A and B are shown apart, each in its own frame.
Chain A
Amino acid sequence: MRALLRRPNAIVGGVLLLVMIVAAIVGHVYTPYDPVANDLMARLKAPSSAHWLGTDEWGRDVLSRLLYGAGVSVSISLFTVIAAVGAGTLVGAATGYFGGWFERIAMAFLDALLAFPSLIMALGMMTVFGPSRIGVISALALAYMPSVARVVRGSVLSVREKEFVEASRVMGNSEPFTMFRHVLPNCVAPIIVLATALFGWALLAESALSFLGLGVPPPASSWGGMLSDSRNYVGQAPWLALVPGISISVTLLGINLFGDALRDQFDPRMKNL
């Protein structure tokens, strides 16, 4: 942990993420205004001392919505990534390592999932689940799981052929032990890279779903929802698009930097660089 904090990437990324997490927690405990309260007298007001980040077309305080939305958006993306990476790694590692009939059937199923545009599939699932946070998470996780499984399987296939894996077998280690001790840890780099990318996709996909009315139900705020609501007013009230847009970008930047540092930290070959 201390070694991790010596990396500039880790520090910058970590600080950005920390700010995000604090904002998400604060947003659920306290916001300057009620994030869903309309104030038709104060529509589309530019940032001022009363409304630090201005107001939207219903006169709702943007800062309050941003803080509240942070919790919604970040938790949705985070759980989506955790679920997709967890399930994908398990499936990918199992198919890659054990092969045979199991692999064929599992991969055929995954390919079928992959052939479906992920947003369409999420849409379909949302109509079944109804718009809710859990619905969004499970729909997106299922949509992204196959690509994680593919990546993990690919790197398991290449690591599996290394002689140290055979050495582990010759030493009498069981297959699951070999898998978890030698194969998976050597696949961490691509998984982390993919997970950080997934986080961004999930954030954007959540906004797309919100835009289609299938995300977090309005009037509750989410960053994606704020971004899509802003599109009619970009000319008159650019802050409506800029505020959630910048928040999303900064969060992604933080995640990516932190992910890079994490990946390097797990690789002893990078220790002295």
Chain B
Amino acid sequence: MNEMPRQVGDPRSAPTLSIASLSVAVRTPDKSTRRVVDEVSFTIDPGRMVALVGESGSGKTMIGRAVLGLLPPVARVEAGRIAFDGKDLARASEAELRAVRGREIGMVFQEPMVSLNPALTVGFQMMEALRLHHRLPAEEARKRSLEMLERVKILDPAGCFRAYPHQYSGGMRQRIMLASVLVMRPKLLIADEPTTALDALIQKEVMDIMAALTRDIGTAVLLVSHDLGMVANYADQVVMLRQGKVVESGATADILLAPKHEYTRMLLESLPERKASGDRRQASGETLVEIDNVSVEFRKKPRFFWQRPGVFRAVDKASLTLKQGETLAVVGESGSGKTTIGRALVRLAEESEGSIRFEGREVTAFDARSLAAYRLQTQMVFQDPFSSLDPRMTLAAIVAEGLRTLPGLARAERDRRAREMLAEVGLPGDYGDRHPHELSGGQRQRVSIARAIVATPKLLVADEPVSALDVTVQKQILRLFTALQEKFGFSYLFISHDLGVVEQIADRVVVMYRGRILECGTRDQVYDSPRHPYTLKLLAATPRIARTAEQGYALVRHAGEETPAPTGFAYFAGEGEPVMHEVAPGHVVALKAAA
């Protein structure tokens, strides 16, 4: 293979893409136009990665789409140049754009399942583009495709060639997507939130492959992302956007680690950070919830209705305790069972074995009446602020419903308390009369919280409550959680995949993997001296930006070392039965029983 060497800082090489004073406007429903991209300029050199960073509504995705000529119908380029390979893509005809897309400019989107055709084999899709754009003979196209699959570290390239996209997990699909784009050896790759839908470990794998491969081939990368830690780790240059305007741009280290602009600084300050454990109000020490050896099973739909359904264990003999006034975080990747354990606790999922005790009483044996009483004590905050509120109801009605099962409350009283609670979460005045669609994501999440706490429960299960939010909004919501806990003394079961958020809010942390609990301890124990290799891997996979002592920022990566398992034992890795071993007071880790 004749690969182009990386042309770092070569003054002779012209930039691959050069965007000058680009403005994009959208038509709003009331027929006026609004600029969503305003006079944006930047360049990308061959083999370099430039990240467009900003919160939702910053116009970062629009810029990527404008380069491809794939703007939505309501948007159009108002002014500016998109110079690529001697052409101005802002003024190119549809035919010219088609010739460039795929061949010269590749694209990777957030959802790999949508961008791969589920009805065609991986091989067919990879070869199709090669044969279409490069007019390669089938044999040659096949050879190149297989080679590329190998380079994105697909274990069995020939098998993958014959397989269909649905046979692969999200991370694998994103690698396949990457392979099928890069096999064309495009000059420019546009990656729009390519790993946002993936778990931390897989995110790192995909990004590592993408960075290395594009550097080898000499492909310039336009990375669109909201993840500051990831951008700091991979991008050469950063363009910081806010409401369509460039706030500042330059080398990554200059922008993210020594920010000059106020907005960048505010974003960085919004990143979750650890507070000393002494800052937090101490939990009372009384046990509120005990989950003991609980398993939750789901039936897999059989292929034919006369077959017995298969069983999938989402949670496998998990035990944990939650004290009054404490925040216990459950972390893990998707499929680890962290959500299911929360759902079992609020009785949205039925356990197949084990016991759940709330204030010493067995929850699993509750009849309808005690269940109704229990539900006033435990509430849930959901992940998706767009589907967790009934679109037909006013906010006051939504929140007031949380009081419906409380006996002896008149309708007017419920409404009054609902509005009070809305004010408590930062939605005062006439917000009660609005409908969910009039609110932003963060505001909706506030409503969801108000609904959960209006009947002052003792326990709140929060399932990824801030994952769908921008960092600045995320910070506000986390602060709200903390303030409410201080005021009302709630206990939280905080379910999250985001280790940064957990580090900020949790008192104790449980790490789950494939339905099992691998490690459990106080936040400091788990973050500072993780014992299980999996925990260590998770922590190392997510580099984050942290404030240094002297007003600056630094990219911090967890660099702990694997602690050997206690003598005679090995760490439990998902097979067989684990033995829970206490390595320090309150710090438990799963070991494999010695053979």
Contacts and interface: CB of A to CB of B under 8 A. Distances in A.
Contact of A171 (B375, B387, B389, B391): B375
Interface stretch (A133-141, A160-168, A241-249): A160-168
Contact of A170 (B29, B375, B435, B437): B375
Nearest to A161: B387
Given A164-B388, A166-B382, A172-B375, A269 B346 contact: no
A168 B398 CA distance: 10
A34 interface: no
Contact of A163 (B347, B376, B378, B383): B383
Nearest to A182: B390
Interface string A56-78: 00000000000000000000000
A170 B392 contact: no
A219 interface: no
A118 interface: no
Given A171-B402, A172-B405, A173-B404, A164 B375 contact: no
A117 B346 CA distance: 47
Given A185-B392, A186-B392, A268-B392, A170 B379 contact: yes
A171 B379 contact: yes
B372 A167 contact: no
A273 B378 CA distance: 39
A168 to B, nearest CB: 7
Given A186-B390, A268-B392, A269-B435, A166 B401 contact: no
A169 interface: yes
B388 to A, nearest CB: 4
Instruction: Bin chain A's interface residue count.
Output: 20 to 34
12 contacts: A163-B384, A168-B401, A170-B347, A170-B380, A171-B375, A171-B405, A182-B390, A185-B390, A185-B392, A186-B392, A267-B391, A268-B435
Contact of B348 (A166, A172, A186, A268): A166
Nearest 5 CB-CB pairings of A with B: A172-B375, A163-B388, A163-B382, A172-B405, A268-B435
A269 B392 CA distance: 8
Contact of B391 (A166, A168, A169, A186): A186
A167 B388 contact: yes
Provide the main secondary structure of the chain A interface: helix
B451 interface: yes
Contacts of A268: 391-392, 435, 437
A273 B437 CA distance: 13
B343 to A, nearest CB: 8
Interface in A36-51: none
Contacts of B383: 163
A270 to B, nearest CB: 10
Interface string A247-271: 0000000000000000000111101
B387 A173 contact: no
User: Which of B383, B401, B437 has the largest count of A CB atoms less than 10 A from its CB?
Assistant: B401
A166 B383 CA distance: 12
B465 to A, nearest CB: 11
B247 interface: no
Contacts of B401: 168, 171, 173
Contacts of B435: 268-269, 271
B387 A163 contact: yes
B371 interface: yes
A268 to B, nearest CB: 4
Interface in A151-189: 162-164, 166-173, 182, 185-186
A120 to B, nearest CB: 29
A267 B392 contact: yes
Interface in B403-442: 404-405, 435, 437
A273 B382 CA distance: 30
A170 B346 CA distance: 7
B571 to A, nearest CB: 36
Contacts of B29: 273
A185 B375 CA distance: 24
A74 B383 CA distance: 49
Given A164-B388, A170-B348, A268-B435, 5 more contacts: A167-B388, A173-B404, A173-B405, A268-B392, A269-B391
B305 to A, nearest CB: 8
A164 B402 contact: no
A173 B371 CA distance: 11
B390 A172 contact: no
A183 B379 CA distance: 20
Contacts of B404: 171-173
A167 B380 contact: yes
